[in-house]
Structure 1
Amino acid sequence: MADANGFVYESIRGPKWKVEFDRRSGGGFERVEAVWTGCGWRVTGREVVTTMRRI
């Protein structure tokens, strides 16, 4: 079973953005942010996240 691990959003003007949370083998997650270029996703940033919770 696959878990939802992120989301895609669009503003009124501008490209689509994607934020994903990938599990790390040592615990926690890696947050990966990307922008749609029209041909594919280009990663614009990433960081380690130690804790996540639903709000």
Structure 2
Amino acid sequence: MAAYLEDFAQTENCKKIVLYSGMSRTAAHHFWEKHMKYEKRGIVFKKEIT
């Protein structure tokens, strides 16, 4: 699936792919960084306003 997404993005002249992953999913983070060569770029902060 990731290969399809990357191929599609390239054919559509996209400049980047952004992936969001929960902070607790450390195994997934390792997979994307080490096996798929994605780069961790930051942390997202969120606050619910009720």
TM norm. shorter chain > 0.5: no
Larger Rg: 2
Q: Larger relative CO (CA 8 A, sep 6+): 1 or 2?
A: 1
Structure with greater strand share of residues: 1
Structure with greater helix share of residues: 2
TM-score of the two chains, using structure 2 as the length reference: 0.30
